[in-house]
């Protein structure tokens, strides 16, 4: 008896399935002494997805990240990274990690730190590509300088280059912008968006909610070691709105407004709830609805348009609501 045809059939079936998620964790639990830091946390990060981990100080974010990466042993729960069990050291081969706190050997230059990490990872990354990574994080003109003389922000940029240098399929960034100036934060935002375009998954732990709102596809909110909320920004923040101040609205114009979405009115102020909106907050309402077309139609119907303003609640407002226990 040969196993050939069965094996081939099984391979065929597997090949037809979607790739395993970049991160899959279930029932993660961790106690430190009598304190429960993480209490039954489960979530996934899809391939090429940017997931934001949010929550107040001490919520368990860094503990979860360390359990995912095998740096802290969970008391319970399971982890799979890129389709391999977390216990398997090969699971971490294609994972880049920027820790919250780290220090590189101060006597090494930035290029040497990168070369060292390439060697540790076992990946074959040519020198030119390593230099590119330093350029990407804004250190192109400091490659030959010793890390001991780097500012905190420059060290964090180098940490990001280290996380990215071995061509990871999953990048875990624990507070990547805590030491960065606004320009540096914008750079990291661009780096994360670039990774998503390349199909690299990113798990981002950040207290800068605006940053999370701009780059993340989905968000997991931790509170006292548990998942307090999870979902896409569209799901967490609700539908986007278009607020208009209009005069001279006749029946035809009102019908045109109602065709764009659910309509409410208070005097001259009209609010249209835009339908079918699941994008990141980077997109504005104008991206998902034909706002110029709507305005042109209204003007054509004799309406005077005084103001048009896209809006919805911010992630910060929603996060505070979740942590206070408000219903969505
Ligand atoms: N090594 C440790 N020993 C004892 N307690 C710990 C340890 N690491 C974390 N804790 C505790 O676990 C809880 C969660 O900590 P963790 O660092 O995971 O939170 P966090 O959400 O990352 O917080 P922050 O936003 O302040 O970085 C806290 O109560 C913390 O005191």
Q: Can you list the domains of the chain with their CATH numbers?
A: 18-235 (3.40.50.300), 239-312 (3.30.70)
Closest protein CA for atom 18 of ligand 1 = 60
pTM: 0.78
Q: What is the mean pLDDT of residues 245-268?
A: 92
Tell me the residue length of the chain: 328
Closest protein CA for atom 12 of ligand 1 = 37
Instruction: Kindly give, in sequence order, each residue whose CB lies less than 8 Å from that of residue 268, ignoring residues fewer than 6 positions away.
Output: 245, 246, 247, 306
Whether 35 lines ligand 1, by a CB cut-off of 6 Å, is: yes
Q: Is the pLDDT of residue 87 over 60?
A: yes
Ligand 1 test: best mutation among 37, 57, 75, most atoms within 8 Å of CB? 37
Whether 99 lines ligand 1, by a CB cut-off of 6 Å, is: no
* Closest C-alpha among 192, 183, 102, 113 to residue 147: 113
Q: Is the pLDDT of residue 281 over 70?
A: no
Q: What is the mean pLDDT of residues 207-229?
A: 90
**Predicted pLDDT at 324:** 82
Higher per-residue confidence, 121 vs 205:
205
**Predicted pLDDT at 3:** 53
Whether 280 lines ligand 1, by a CB cut-off of 6 Å, is: no
CA distance 169 to 84: 13
Whether 41 lines ligand 1, by a CB cut-off of 6 Å, is: no
> What's the pLDDT band for 264 if we cut at 50, 70, 90?
confident
Closest protein CA for atom 16 of ligand 1 = 60
What is the average pLDDT score of the chain? 87
Q: Where are the beta strands (DSSP E) in the chain?
A: 23-32, 35-45, 50-54, 76-81, 84-85, 95-98, 170-174, 201-205, 218-223, 226-232, 241-247, 261-266, 269-274, 304-311
Q: What is the mean pLDDT of residues 91-109?
A: 88
> What's the pLDDT band for 101 if we cut at 50, 70, 90?
confident
Q: What is the mean pLDDT of residues 37-46?
A: 96
> What's the pLDDT band for 163 if we cut at 50, 70, 90?
very high
User: Residue 301, class by beta-carbon neighbours within 10 Å (0-12 exposed, 13-18 middle, 19+ buried)?
Assistant: middle
Q: Is the pLDDT of residue 299 over 90?
A: yes
Higher per-residue confidence, 220 vs 100:
220
Q: Is the pLDDT of residue 283 over 70?
A: no
CA distance 191 to 197: 10
> What's the pLDDT band for 328 if we cut at 50, 70, 90?
low
CA distance 272 to 242: 5
- Please give the distance, rounded to the nearest whole angstrom, from the Cα atom of residue 206 to the centre of ligand 1: 15
Lowest mean pLDDT segment, chosen from 42-56, 61-75, 80-94: 80-94
Whether 61 lines ligand 1, by a CB cut-off of 6 Å, is: yes
**Predicted pLDDT at 201:** 96
**Predicted pLDDT at 282:** 46
CA distance 54 to 213: 11
Whether 58 lines ligand 1, by a CB cut-off of 6 Å, is: yes
């Amino acid at each position: 008896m040969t196993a050939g045809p069965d094996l081939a059939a099984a391979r065929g079936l597997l090949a037809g399935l979607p790739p395993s998620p970049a991160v899959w964790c279930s029932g993660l639990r961790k106690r430190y002494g009598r304190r429960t830091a993480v209490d039954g946390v489960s979530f996934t990060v899809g391939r090429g997805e940017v997931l934001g981990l949010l929550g107040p100080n001490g919520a368990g974010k860094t503990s979860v990240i360390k359990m995912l990466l095998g740096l802290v042993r969970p008391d319970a729960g399971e982890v799979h990274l890129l389709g391999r069990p977390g216990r398997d050291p090969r699971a971490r081969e294609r994972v880049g990690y920027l820790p919250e706190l780290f220090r590189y050997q101060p006597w090494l230059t930035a290029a040497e730190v990168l070369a060292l990490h390439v060697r540790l990872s076992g990946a074959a990354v040519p020198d030119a590509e390593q230099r590119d990574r330093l350029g990407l994080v804004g250190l192109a003109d400091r490659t030959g300088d010793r890390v001991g003389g780097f500012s905190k922000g420059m060290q964090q940029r180098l940490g990001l280059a280290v996380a990215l240098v071995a061509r990871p399929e999953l990048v875990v960034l624990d507070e990547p912008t805590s030491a960065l100036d606004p320009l540096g934060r914008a750079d990291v935002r661009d780096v994360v968006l670039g990774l998503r375009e390349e199909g690299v998954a990113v798990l981002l732990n950040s207290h800068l909610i605006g940053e999370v709102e701009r780059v993340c596809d989905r968000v997991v909110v931790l509170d006292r070691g548990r998942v307090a909320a999870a979902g896409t920004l569209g799901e967490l923040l609700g539908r986007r709105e278009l607020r208009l101040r209009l005069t001279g609205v006749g029946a035809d114009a009102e019908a045109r407004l109602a065709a764009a979405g659910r309509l409410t009115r208070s005097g001259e102020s009209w609010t249209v709830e835009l339908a079918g909106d699941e994008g990141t907050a980077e997109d504005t309402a104008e991206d998902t609805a034909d706002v110029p077309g709507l305005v042109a139609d209204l003007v054509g119907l004799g309406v005077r348009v005084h103001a048009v303003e896209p809006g919805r609640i911010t992630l910060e407002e929603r996060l505070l609501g979740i942590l206070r226990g408000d219903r969505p």
